[in-house]
């Protein structure tokens, strides 16, 4: 019989991490959303589509710079977080490797900026959007995840995002001011990244170790499978917007990204805190044994199904009200996008558990890569067909179909490996209350203070 690996102390730490990560996601996604009702009415669907088209293109470069370190570096350090030599080694390897990737990204971006016609037409917006890449160089969230120390980062993000929200409302006053939005986002993210970077050096007494270029190349090669998997995972979501922008009007891009952005925000606030808080915790459990890791995963899944599933239903019902509230009547065409994609946060969360939490921690990198690659190929090909026929609604159905394809594929692969991530015992109210009670207690303490 497997003994419980979740002690009272670890439950408290986990609860703190979940709440801290929720605050980070709120700062990152919800705080800027306060400005959306004002900004969207000023710039309209077409300009909104332009800045989101640029953001989708820049996403390719941020993916390259961040590589797979949020998972691979976290996995390396989370098993021995108190080892100072290991901390310095991993931190230095990650930072200097990212410097190399940033240099390569900047060179590639510069070439594309002056050679691709569609890029030339929106040079200012693209350059301003690229400032976001600077923040990815200094934002070392993998380190805070591995050290399970996220409360201060939450505070940094909240303060910075509050300043961003105020500044963008003050700056964007006319339709032509839409170009400043990506610059303000990039600047605010960079400020957070730099502050947290130097704070981490001081807090963890980090020392830079000289990392030769050959070692940076070795790090890239060692983590290539996870990186390519994450590229494919993110490729279809970003490429959906790019393909839509290439074949349809910027106005249609505006409708799609209006609904998509709210779904991503819901996904980030509801799903990512649980996923990020549990990843190092589950990694440590899997380090003790396969059954211990699965035991923790089986406790996580009921939380996802109950809470995120209920949120998905609420989003579908409230879809028309939400779109009209945030974007205004000009964006009513985005309502079906939001409703169709309402279930995506639940699908994404389950896919994260099956792929990131189970497959990667069990060393099933190759299987994860194959599923991600196949999903990306299917998504792009399907989108090319659907977008020409149904425009932005075709792109919407494509995203939903891709998430379902990934879910079914991962379930099949895990079943063939004899892995069952579900345990009906943990769906009982008594088991769920083990996590609900600490969360409610923490929220009560915060309210009282």
The candidate with the shortest Cα–Cα distance to 267, out of 227, 213, 312, is: 312
Cα–Cα distance for residue pair 251/240, rounded to 1 Å: 15
Number of domains comprising the chain: 1
What pLDDT, on a 0 to 100 scale, did the predictor assign at position 2? 40
76-102, pLDDT tens digit by residue? 887 777 788 888 998 999 999 999 999
Segment among 188-192, 202-206, 249-253, 397-401 with least mean pLDDT:
188-192
Cβ–Cβ contacts within 10 Å for residue 39, how many? 22
Segment among 1-5, 54-58, 356-360, 417-421 with least mean pLDDT:
1-5
Cα–Cα distance for residue pair 21/74, rounded to 1 Å: 15
Span 284-309, average pLDDT: 81
What band does 61 get if pLDDT is binned at 50, 70 and 90?
very high
E-only strand ranges, 91-226: none
Residue 449 pLDDT greater than 60, yes or no: no
Taking all residues of the chain, what is their mean pLDDT, rounded to a whole number?
A: 81
Domain that residue 366 falls in: 8-443
What pLDDT, on a 0 to 100 scale, did the predictor assign at position 252? 92
What pLDDT, on a 0 to 100 scale, did the predictor assign at position 226? 76
Could you tell me if residue 303 is inside a domain? yes
What pLDDT, on a 0 to 100 scale, did the predictor assign at position 245? 84
Structure letter (DSSP) for residue 3: P
What pLDDT, on a 0 to 100 scale, did the predictor assign at position 3? 44
Could you tell me if residue 391 is inside a domain? yes
Segment among 15-24, 166-175, 214-223 with least mean pLDDT:
15-24
The pTM score is 0.69
The candidate with the shortest Cα–Cα distance to 356, out of 153, 197, 149, 145, is: 145
What pLDDT, on a 0 to 100 scale, did the predictor assign at position 110? 93
- How close are the terminal C-alpha atoms of the chain, in Å? 42
230-247, pLDDT tens digit by residue? 777 666 667 888 888 888
* 362 or 277: which leads in pLDDT: 362
406-426, pLDDT tens digit by residue? 999 999 999 998 888 888 877
Residue 376 pLDDT greater than 60, yes or no: yes
The DSSP element (H or E) to which 22 belongs, if any, is helix 8-25
Could you tell me if residue 439 is inside a domain? yes
What pLDDT, on a 0 to 100 scale, did the predictor assign at position 278? 66
What pLDDT, on a 0 to 100 scale, did the predictor assign at position 443? 41
What pLDDT, on a 0 to 100 scale, did the predictor assign at position 12? 57
Segment among 154-163, 284-293, 363-372 with least mean pLDDT:
154-163
Residue 10 pLDDT greater than 90, yes or no: no
Segment among 2-11, 192-201, 415-424 with least mean pLDDT:
2-11
The candidate with the shortest Cα–Cα distance to 316, out of 262, 278, 268, is: 262
The sign of the torsion formed by the CA atoms of 44, 50, 54, 56 equals positive
Cα–Cα distance for residue pair 6/260, rounded to 1 Å: 36
Cα distances from 111 to residues 53, 61, 107, 116, in angstroms, run 19, 13, 6, 9
What pLDDT, on a 0 to 100 scale, did the predictor assign at position 161? 74
The sign of the torsion formed by the CA atoms of 202, 67, 112, 234 equals negative
Report whether 131 contacts 186 (CB < 8 A).
yes
Cα distances from 428 to residues 151, 282, 301, 435, 436, in angstroms, run 31, 21, 12, 12, 12
Residue 23 pLDDT greater than 70, yes or no: no
What pLDDT, on a 0 to 100 scale, did the predictor assign at position 400? 94
Buried/exposed code over 248-286 (b: 16+ C-beta within 10 A; e: otherwise): bebbbbbbbbbbbbbbbbbbbbbbbbbbbbbbbbbbbbb
Segment among 223-227, 285-289, 414-418 with least mean pLDDT:
285-289
What pLDDT, on a 0 to 100 scale, did the predictor assign at position 1? 40
Report whether 109 contacts 61 (CB < 8 A).
yes
Report whether 347 contacts 208 (CB < 8 A).
no
Percent of the chain with pLDDT over 90: 28
Residue 336 token pair:
């079906």
What pLDDT, on a 0 to 100 scale, did the predictor assign at position 20? 56
321-343, pLDDT tens digit by residue? 999 988 888 899 999 999 999 99
Could you tell me if residue 1 is inside a domain? no
What pLDDT, on a 0 to 100 scale, did the predictor assign at position 126? 92
What pLDDT, on a 0 to 100 scale, did the predictor assign at position 302? 85
Report whether 342 contacts 315 (CB < 8 A).
yes
Residues with Cβ within 8 Å of residue 374, at least 6 apart in sequence: 409
Could you tell me if residue 412 is inside a domain? yes
Cα–Cα distance for residue pair 262/275, rounded to 1 Å: 19
Percent of the chain with pLDDT over 70: 83
What pLDDT, on a 0 to 100 scale, did the predictor assign at position 439? 47
Span 349-371, average pLDDT: 86
């Amino acid at each position: 019989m497997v003994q419980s690996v979740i002690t009272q102390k670890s439950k408290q730490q986990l609860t703190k991490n979940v709440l801290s990560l929720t605050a980070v996601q709120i700062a990152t996604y919800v705080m800027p959303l306060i400005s959306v009702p004002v900004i969207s009415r000023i710039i309209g669907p077409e300009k909104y589509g332009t800045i989101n088209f640029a953001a989708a293109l820049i996403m390719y470069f941020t993916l390259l710079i961040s590589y797979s370190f949020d998972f691979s570096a976290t996995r390396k350090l989370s098993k021995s977080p108190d080892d100072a030599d290991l901390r310095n080694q991993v931190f230095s390897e990650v930072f200097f490797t990212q410097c190399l990737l940033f240099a390569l990204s900047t060179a590639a971006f510069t070439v594309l900026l002056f050679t691709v016609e569609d890029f030339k037409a929106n040079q200012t917006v693209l350059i301003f959007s690229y400032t976001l890449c600077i923040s990815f160089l200094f934002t070392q969230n993998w380190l805070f995840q591995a050290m399970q120390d996220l409360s201060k980062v939450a505070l940094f993000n909240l303060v910075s995002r509050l300043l961003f929200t105020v500044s963008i409302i003050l700056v964007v006053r006319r339709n032509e001011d839409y170009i400043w939005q990506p610059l303000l986002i990039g600047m605010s993210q960079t400020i957070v990244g730099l502050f947290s970077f130097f704070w981490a050096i001081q807090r963890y007494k980090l020392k830079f170790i000289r990392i030769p270029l050959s070692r940076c190349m070795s790090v890239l090669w060692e983590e290539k499978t996870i990186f390519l998997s994450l590229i494919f995972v993110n490729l279809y979501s970003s490429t959906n917007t790019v393909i839509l922008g290439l074949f349809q009007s910027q106005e249609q891009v505006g409708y799609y990204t209006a609904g998509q952005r709210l779904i991503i925000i819901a996904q980030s606030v509801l799903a990512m805190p649980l996923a990020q808080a549990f990843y190092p915790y589950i990694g440590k459990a899997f380090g003790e044994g396969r059954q211990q890791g699965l035991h923790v995963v089986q406790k996580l899944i009921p939380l996802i199904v109950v809470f995120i599933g209920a949120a998905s239903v609420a989003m579908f019902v409230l879809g028309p009200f939400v779109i009209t509230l945030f974007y205004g009547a000009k964006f009513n065409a985005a309502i079906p996008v939001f409703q169709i994609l309402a279930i995506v946060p639940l699908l994404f969360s389950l896919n994260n558990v099956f792929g990131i939490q189970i497959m990667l921690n069990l060393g099933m990198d190759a299987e994860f890569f194959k599923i991600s690659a196949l999903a990306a190929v299917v998504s792009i090909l399907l989108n090319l067909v659907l977008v020409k026929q149904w425009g932005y609604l075709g792109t919407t159905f494509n995203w939903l179909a891709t998430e379902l394809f990934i879910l079914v594929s991962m379930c099949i692969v895990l079943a063939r490996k004899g892995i069952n991530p579900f345990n009906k015992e943990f769906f009982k109210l008594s088991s769920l209350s083990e996590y609900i009670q600490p969360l409610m207690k923490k929220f009560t303490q915060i309210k009282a203070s």
